[in-house]
Amino acid sequence: MEKSILITGGVRSGKSELAERLALRATGRAVYIATAEAWDDEMRDRIATHQARRGPEWSNHHVPLHLVEALGRTDGGDPRLVDCLTLWLTNLMLGDHDWRAAGETLADALTRQTAPVVLVTNEVGAGIVPENKLARDFRDAAGWLNRRVAEVSDTVILTVAGCPIKVKPNDNPL
Amino acid sequence: MEKSILITGGVRSGKSELAERLALRATGRAVYIATAEAWDDEMRDRIATHQARRGPEWSNHHVPLHLVEALGRTDGGDPRLVDCLTLWLTNLMLGDHDWRAAGETLADALTRQTAPVVLVTNEVGAGIVPENKLARDFRDAAGWLNRRVAEVSDTVILTVAGCPIKVKPNDNPL
Amino acid sequence: MEKSILITGGVRSGKSELAERLALRATGRAVYIATAEAWDDEMRDRIATHQARRGPEWSNHHVPLHLVEALGRTDGGDPRLVDCLTLWLTNLMLGDHDWRAAGETLADALTRQTAPVVLVTNEVGAGIVPENKLARDFRDAAGWLNRRVAEVSDTVILTVAGCPIKVKPNDNPL
């Protein structure tokens, strides 16, 4: 199995289902690292929907901020699934943390893992420019983080309507 | 010709033109199933632009809600083009219908068609999370519907700047 | 080198970096045609970030509106990089120019260039329908312009998380 796989796509495009399938492919068991904070009912529902899909083959961790430490603690065994980077970034920004330093630390940590990691993220930058400055800053940061993690990933996949498109490695060079 | 083709993409990315070309490819004639309701001048203009492109090789049906029935009535002859699923979903949601049940019925019906069906839909989930709850619910529902229909389609195509990318079947397996 | 390359993608998806690399590939030197107007501090910062990346191998031109004339003036030597069409369209629309006529003139001019041109544009139509009529008109116009320029381009590339996907020519026909 590849060491590091990044899966990106629009909302409800099948990213998490694909990530779960890939994480379980090697050993039939995997570690789930959830970054979502249940800060309102809507998010609580979304988390519950995702959890309901996962059986006893998963060991679950709730990691809103300390992702690199969690990867260190869980390394050496089953594949890890991080779901998702966009919510991790949201938590970093809302808590006024240095998200860029955290992203660099994550990219660096990903190159040193022994067990595989599957990371889920979101495409948020293909709509009209938002009127809200915070939203513009967020999509800039999310674009940067996606590229930084993609750089150190062996495989990058875009999901569209539940279908995966492999964008790295590039079998169709420019 | 494949039995069922789903074409997705951003606004004005060439989905309808490609769908029209594919629908006419087999017999030079096709059935157009329009789901758009002309509820304001802007939508009326958009519908007129689309209609102006279509000649006498098309037989036109206006089907805002009863898509499965329309597919049943028009089966057995020329290919059908459904344009588009996103507006059909909008009509279902605005009319307070059970859109999920309707989507399941559609997916089931698509597996039982004799004549080909080309379906157009939209990518609406690759922007920033909308502040409006209705918009968030809509993009969740649209993502679900796209995946459900893609599951039962033989071919899924993403259009980008008028160029088609075949995303199913996957010639570049993971 | 291909005569005309169009690079599209979401915000911060690596379009400009790829465009710079491709423009320099042939001769190690290139002409930079920037369309951005620095109408506020945020845009000034964004322009500065892009400029900081470019060394003495670039000759820089600031062309908010008269893109076709700039392509004429700079033709016959090193490759040109136009960054970006979406801001050019914004300038045309804000100045109440006939953007459709300008787009047709550009498409026509691109077919007559001697030296290569790399053009950067943006995917803005894969989010939820904006509530603002101006934003809806803009994404329609941007979709049209992207398709028109893609039609006359030899190569069209979509960037996702910094990774390029070649969408034209289509090595995977429908």
pLDDT tens for A70-111 read 999 999 999 999 999 999 999 999 999 999 999 999 999 999
pLDDT for residue C171 is more than 80:
no
Query: Would you call the peptide bond into C84 cis, given omega within 30 degrees of 0 as the criterion?
Result: yes
ipTM over 0.85: yes
Residues of chain A with Cβ-Cβ distance to B126 below 8 Å are 9-11, 123-127
In a domain, A61, yes or no: yes
Residue A42's domain spans which residues?
Answer: 4-168
The rounded distance, in Å, linking the Cα atoms of B17 and A122 is 29
- Whether B174 maps to a domain, the answer reads no
* pLDDT value at residue B21: 96
When scoring C6, C156, C174 by the number of chain B Cβ atoms within 10 A, the one with the most, hence best to mutate, is: C174
Question: For the segment C112-147, what is each residue's pLDDT rounded down to a tens digit?
Answer: 999 999 999 999 999 999 999 999 999 999 999 999
Which tens digit of pLDDT belongs to each residue from A122-131?
999 999 999 9
Classify residue A113: in a domain, yes or no: yes
Measured distance CA(B59)–CA(B52) in Å, rounded: 14
Which is nearest to B71 in space by CA: B104, B101, B114?
Answer: B114
Q: Is the pLDDT of residue C172 over 80?
A: no
Task: Select the residue of A129, A147, A172 nearest C14 (Cβ to Cβ).
Answer: A147
Within an 8 Å CB–CB cutoff, is residue C143 touching chain B?
A: yes
In a domain, C173, yes or no: no
Assign A78 to helix, strand or coil. Answer: coil
CATH number at residue C138: 3.40.50.300
- Which residue, among B12, B42, B50, B131, would best test binding to C if mutated, counting the most C CBs under 10 Å from its CB? B12
pLDDT of A39 strictly over 80: no
Q: Tell whether B173 is covered by a domain.
A: no
A115 is known to lie in a ligand binding site:
no
Residue C88: per-residue pLDDT: 98
Q: Is C164 on the interface with A (CB under 8 A)?
A: yes
End-to-end Cα spacing for chain B: 26
* Stretch (H or E) spanning C56: none
**Number of compact structural domains in chain B:** 1
Residue C50: active-site member: yes
CA distance A96 to B161: 38
What's the confidence (pLDDT) of residue B24? 96
Question: Mean pLDDT score of chain B, rounded to an integer?
Answer: 94
The answer to whether residue C102 scores a pLDDT higher than 80 is yes
| Domain assignment present for B159 | yes
